[in-house]
């Protein structure tokens, strides 16, 4: 692999001049520049990113941690980030934390060690203090995705999950349902707590007492949704609708209902959350609450870039979810 010195020798200039050509910074006379470019081409020279990083203390890349890289949910988010970042010629390193505090810590440390110029952190397991410390103390700008931490609010990009929970529940109320169950995600996740909160708020606003027999905590996974639905049917046999805290669990719940002879939506209505890809393929297609994940990914990247280059951009910090009506909700008959 050729170095800048070999290029300089071939072009008959000093290494400083080659460096100047590479970075386009200072003025280089036209013929000289041409000679250097020719030498670069013939040698197939590629600047060594380590040497450059060592000298500038910048990597030209940002780091992103997500729960799980292979999930369609995070895929959409990553895609949004990549759209913005690629357009600026910046690179992205992704690391999965699998919702485990130790692994998430390791991911963050790993990315910091690589001297990422900035970090977008989607974390389920780290506590607020850890995030605050990260965002405040480090010299690396940090944007937090999907969690609202008051102390560093201006670094957060979030969805209003409580609003989403209300939207879903109100939709069921509008269809005349009064006995509405809720399959929640793990309540250790703020997302799950907020959705539950929205559900509760909507019920109370409609004059219906909150009853925790109608609520089951589960896993955000399909299997968990299937089991939770079975519990719910047992504990609250009179329910006519269920708000499920994500689409994956909704798919599982629908399977259980089908297997136990409950028609969806004729006997029981189902509403999901996320509007992942899958929602359109279930039978019946799933009414759900959409998160604009790609847009949110873009917003997170924009926010980080703003921190990096100091240029102000229009950044939305809080996104509103949106109801997507499909076939899995019908009017209550009883």
Partner DNA sequence: TAGAACGATGTAACCGGTTTCAGGAAAGCG
Partner DNA sequence: CGCTTTCCTGAAACCGGTTACATCGTTCTA
Which residues sit at the interface with DNA, rule CB under 7 A?
1-5, 12-20, 22-23, 25-29, 31-33, 45, 47-48, 51-52, 54-57
State the DSSP string of 36-95: HHHHHHHHT----HHHHHHHHS--SEEEEEES-TT-HHHHHHHHHHHHHHHHTT-EEEEE
DSSP 274: B
Quick one: what does residue 91 bind among a copy of itself, DNA, none, with the CB cut-off 5 to 8 Å set by partner type? Answer: a copy of itself
CA 89/CA 117 separation, integer angstroms: 13
Indicate the residue among 84 and 167 with the shorter CB distance to a copy of itself: 84
Indicate the residue among 19 and 288 with the shorter CB distance to DNA: 19
Quick one: what does residue 71 bind among a copy of itself, DNA, none, with the CB cut-off 5 to 8 Å set by partner type? Answer: a copy of itself
Which residues, at least 6 apart from 58, have a Cβ–Cβ distance to it below 8 Å?
Answer: 115, 117
Indicate the residue among 62 and 173 with the shorter CB distance to a copy of itself: 62
Quick one: what does residue 328 bind among DNA, a copy of itself, none, with the CB cut-off 5 to 8 Å set by partner type? Answer: none
Indicate the residue among 110 and 197 with the shorter CB distance to a copy of itself: 110
167 contacts 327 by C-beta, under 8 angstroms: no
Residue 116 CB, nearest approach to DNA (Å): 15
Both structure tokens of 145: 């995705």
β-pairing, 156-159 with 180-184? unpaired
DSSP 175: T
In the complex, which residues of this chain contact a copy of itself (CB under 8 A)? 1, 46-51, 53-54, 57, 59, 69-72, 75-76, 78-79, 82, 91, 93-96, 109-110, 112-115, 139, 251, 277-278, 281-283
Residue 281 CB, nearest approach to a copy of itself (Å): 5
Residue 167 CB, nearest approach to a copy of itself (Å): 24
CA 157/CA 144 separation, integer angstroms: 6
Coil, helix or strand at residue 121: strand
Quick one: what does residue 115 bind among DNA, a copy of itself, none, with the CB cut-off 5 to 8 Å set by partner type? Answer: a copy of itself
Indicate the residue among 1 and 209 with the shorter CB distance to DNA: 1
Residue 65 CB, nearest approach to DNA (Å): 22
CA 13/CA 9 separation, integer angstroms: 6
Residue 140 CB, nearest approach to DNA (Å): 14
Quick one: what does residue 32 bind among DNA, a copy of itself, none, with the CB cut-off 5 to 8 Å set by partner type? Answer: DNA
Residue 258 CB, nearest approach to a copy of itself (Å): 10
Indicate the residue among 39 and 215 with the shorter CB distance to a copy of itself: 39
Greatest pairwise CA separation for the chain in angstroms: 89
Coil, helix or strand at residue 256: helix
Distance in Å from the first CA to the final CA of the chain: 76
Residue 251 CB, nearest approach to a copy of itself (Å): 6
Angle at 147 between CA 142 and CA 153, to 5 degrees: 60
- Closest by CA position to 245, among listed 187, 202, 293: 187
Quick one: what does residue 4 bind among a copy of itself, DNA, none, with the CB cut-off 5 to 8 Å set by partner type? Answer: DNA
Residue 307 CB, nearest approach to a copy of itself (Å): 18
Quick one: what does residue 20 bind among DNA, a copy of itself, none, with the CB cut-off 5 to 8 Å set by partner type? Answer: DNA
């Amino acid at each position: 692999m050729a170095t800048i010195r070999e290029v300089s020798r071939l072009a008959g200039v000093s290494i400083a001049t080659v460096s100047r050509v590479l970075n386009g910074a200072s003025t280089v006379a036209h013929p000289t520049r041409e000679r250097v470019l020719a030498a670069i081409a013939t040698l197939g020279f590629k600047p060594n990113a380590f040497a450059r990083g060592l000298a500038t203390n910048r990597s030209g890349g940002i780091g992103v941690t997500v729960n799980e890289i292979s999930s369609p949910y995070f895929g959409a988010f990553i895609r949004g980030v990549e759209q913005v970042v690629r357009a600026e010629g910046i690179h992205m390193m992704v690391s999965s934390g699998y919702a485990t505090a130790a692994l998430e810590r390791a991911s963050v440390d790993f990315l910091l060690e690589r001297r990422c110029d900035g970090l977008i952190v989607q974390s389920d397991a780290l506590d607020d203090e850890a995030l605050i410390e990260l965002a405040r103390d480090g010299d690396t700008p940090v944007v937090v995705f999907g969690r609202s931490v008051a102390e560093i609010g201006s670094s957060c990009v979030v969805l209003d999950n409580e609003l989403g929970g209300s939207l879903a529940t109100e939709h069921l109320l509008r269809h005349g349902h009064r006995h509405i169950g809720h399959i929640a995600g793990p309540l250790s996740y703020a997302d799950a707590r907020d959705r539950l909160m929205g559900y509760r708020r909507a019920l109370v606003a409609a004059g219906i007492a909150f009853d925790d027999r109608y609520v089951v905590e589960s896993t955000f996974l399909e299997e968990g949704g299937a089991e939770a639905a079975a519990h719910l049917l047992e504990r609250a046999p009179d329910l006519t609708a269920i708000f499920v805290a994500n689409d994956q669990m909704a798919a599982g719940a629908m399977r259980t209902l089908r297997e136990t002879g409950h028609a969806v939506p004729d006997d029981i209505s189902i509403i999901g959350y996320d509007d992942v890809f899958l929602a359109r393929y279930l039978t019946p297609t799933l009414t759900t609450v959409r998160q604009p994940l790609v847009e949110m990914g873009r917003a997170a990247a924009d926010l980080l870039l703003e921190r990096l280059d100091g240029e102000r951009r229009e950044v939305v910090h809080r996104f509103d979810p949106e109801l997507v009506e499909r076939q899995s909700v019908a009017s209550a008959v009883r």
